[in-house]
Amino acid sequence: MDDEKAAHDSGLNNVATRRRALMLGAIGASAIVSVRPALAQSAASVLNCEIPVPGPHGTGMNIDAYGQLVPRDTPGSFPTSGVKFTGEQVKAAMQGRSLPGTSYDESQAYVNYIRRLQSGQSGFTCYASLQITR
Amino acid sequence: MVLLIQPLDAMTAIYHRRSGITHIVSEPVPQILHRMGGETLTSDEIVERLRVDFDFEEIDARSLITERMDEMAALGLLVRQHV
């Protein structure tokens, strides 16, 4: 038990405490593989589930190109209205189509917002379920 | 943001509690997180901190680390701040 705890606590420290060569990767090569939790939901209900942009936690804020909530007067950011998109619309947007009623740049910003949704935020379960349905 | 970090030999597993996502990452991702220590830094500042402990090629270091940080920001492991 003590060894396991020590190993866990020193997780990051063990990664590198002495000077050595660091591999930085290559341009265009990803360093991360992400594994999402599996959520049981039927295909039909997923396509009809809704994702508000933004959710209640973002009321009165804009969205920047990276999908982060920012104050209304932030240059280059996009206004929002809490409009709800269906799972089907978001799935199509992730495959290249723009979200209904949005320009290309707006749609990209909204999609990035949706991609950043966290557990507990409105639309998270709908979005997470899109990842595992065909 | 709570991250649970576990080295796995050549890779590192990072569990991001709020999203429920496990990211399996190669270096320099854990080293970037460790050297940032929760502070807000530019990619230049991170390169300098990494240089204290590590040897790496001068050429492209900033581009490579910026690319890694962009990837981490896209996945929610880092948050981009506007200035």
pLDDT, position A89: 93
Question: Minimal CA–CA distance to B72: which of B35, B40, B33, B36?
Answer: B33
Check residue A7 and give its pLDDT: 46
Which segments in chain A show pLDDT lower than 70?
1-18, 37-47, 132-134
Q: What mean pLDDT do residues B37-56 have?
A: 91
- Residue B36: per-residue pLDDT: 92
pLDDT for residue A47: 67
Using CA atoms of B7, B11, B12, B14 in order, give the dihedral in degrees to the nearest 10: -150
For A16, the closest chain B residue by CA position comes to B31
Q: In angstroms, rounded to a whole number, what is the distance separating the alpha carbons of residues B27 and A7?
A: 19
User: How does pLDDT run across B18-29, given as a tens digit for each residue?
Assistant: 777 889 998 899
Using an 8 Å CB-CB cutoff, list chain A residues near B33: 12
Listed by start position, the domains of chain B span: 3-74
Least Cα separation, residue A100 to chain B (angstroms): 23
Closest CA to B28 of B66, B81, B74: B66
pTM, two decimal places: 0.52
Cα→Cα distances A5→A2, A8, A39, A115, B2, Å: 5, 5, 30, 33, 18
Residue of A nearest to B83 (CA): A74
> Per CB distance under 8 Å, which residues of B are interface residues toward A?
5-7, 12, 18-31, 33-34, 50, 53-57, 60-61, 63-65, 67-68, 71-77, 79-80, 82
Q: Which ipTM value was assigned to this complex?
A: 0.79
**Is residue A65 less than 8 Å (CB to CB) from chain B?**
no
Share of chain B above pLDDT 70, in %: 96
Residues in chain B with CB shorter than 8 Å from the CB of A17 are 53
Please state the length of chain A.
134
Min Cα–Cα distance to chain B from A83, Å: 23
Q: Give residue A17's pLDDT.
A: 52
